A = this chain, B = another copy of it.
């Protein structure tokens, strides 16, 4: 997630230089051909603008949906923050005084382990994502290192090596961690450390965490439907392919304007439509380890800090750093 007020225009141009160059070459090729052959292959502008309106609707729909996906993803991780805090506070204030502080600390540490495991699970690549390599995230070295080190490097801080061993070979690690937490609560009640009623209330918080995990997986595993994305892209291509012909028609008719103006002008229009499409495209998948991600590393760190401060730990990590304008 970018956190400065505005992207620099040049970094945006650089980011979208491929469509920009293509637009330029394509427009120029058409005008050169026109220059050479003198065949009047222009097209009327009015029907092109009707396609333009259809494309604008489609891009609007796509941008909207991408934004909704990102916002829902953020809400889900917001709920993870909330329920993590509630769970930690619940353990501290509902378990009886007989329960040793060490047990409570362990339970909360295991919860942080779940957060870290979920974070890493969310970032495994999907066939419809952009899947740029984690090594290439040079603008965010801290985040890059986290990705390269992987899940286990973080789990060792909060889970016993025995617990980590048990997770090997499981299909869905975070859900089995929540199961383990539930069995811990069961044992706590059996040992008299908590009353039945309070136990079930905490189990209910675990059920909310199960909901949060499932919701996060839902966004991760269900892409913006590819039929919509592809159709949007195709009609955008068709529209953009027609633009130079339409502009040539207009400029060629004009007495005072030269038809070579078609090149810069159609380049700009094509670039705008591709830029808008691309922005939607790169915001669709909020957990793809790319610069527009919902910043779940930073959110996980917030949970870590808050829970450790609740335990009055001395060694509390710093908030996640902003690197070159990005918070991940």
Contact check: which of B5, B92, B231, B273 meets A279 at CB < 8 Å? B231
**C-beta contact mask, A72-98 vs B, less than 8 Å → 1, else 0?**
001100110110011001101110010
Complex CA gap A86/B228 in Å reads: 34
Complex CA gap A228/B250 in Å reads: 32
The answer to whether B128 and A47 have CB atoms under 8 Å apart is no
**Among the interface residues A1, A4, A47, A279, which one has the most CB atoms of the partner chain B within 10 A?**
A47
Q: Which of chain B's residues have a CB closer than 8 A to the CB of A176?
A: 309-310
The answer to whether A171 and B94 have CB atoms under 8 Å apart is no
Contact check: which of B43, B82, B229, B319 meets A261 at CB < 8 Å? B43
Q: How many copies does the complex hold?
A: 5
A151 within 8 A of B: no
Q: Which of chain B's residues have a CB closer than 8 A to the CB of A170?
A: 309
A215 within 8 A of B: yes
CB distance from A196 to the nearest CB of B (A): 6
Q: Which of chain B's residues have a CB closer than 8 A to the CB of A235?
A: 272, 275-276
- Would A51 and B272 be within 8 Å (CB), given that A5-B226, A227-B283 are in contact? yes
Residue of chain B at shortest CB distance from A318:
B171
Contact check: which of B63, B171, B254, B294 meets A228 at CB < 8 Å? B63
The answer to whether A214 and B246 have CB atoms under 8 Å apart is no
Task: Name the prevailing secondary structure of the A interface residues.
Answer: helix
Complex CA gap A4/B126 in Å reads: 9
The answer to whether B89 and A276 have CB atoms under 8 Å apart is no
Q: Which of chain B's residues have a CB closer than 8 A to the CB of A26?
A: none
The answer to whether A234 and B43 have CB atoms under 8 Å apart is no
Size category of the binding interface on chain A: 35 or more
A27 within 8 A of B: no
Complex CA gap A233/B276 in Å reads: 12
Contact check: which of B4, B128, B252 meets A128 at CB < 8 Å? B4
Q: Which of chain B's residues have a CB closer than 8 A to the CB of A226?
A: 1-7
A223 within 8 A of B: yes
The answer to whether A89 and B45 have CB atoms under 8 Å apart is no
Chain A 18-64 residues near chain B, CB threshold 8 A: 40, 42-47, 49-54, 56-61, 63-64
Complex CA gap A239/B45 in Å reads: 18
Residue of chain B at shortest CB distance from A322:
B127
Q: Which of chain B's residues have a CB closer than 8 A to the CB of A171?
A: 305-306, 309, 316, 319
Complex CA gap A215/B83 in Å reads: 12
**C-beta contact mask, A141-183 vs B, less than 8 Å → 1, else 0?**
0000000000000000000000000000011100110110011
Q: Which of chain B's residues have a CB closer than 8 A to the CB of A67?
A: 61, 65, 225, 228
The answer to whether B47 and A269 have CB atoms under 8 Å apart is yes
The answer to whether A256 and B40 have CB atoms under 8 Å apart is yes
Contact check: which of B4, B49, B75 meets A127 at CB < 8 Å? B4
Contact check: which of B70, B198, B243, B275 meets A231 at CB < 8 Å? B275
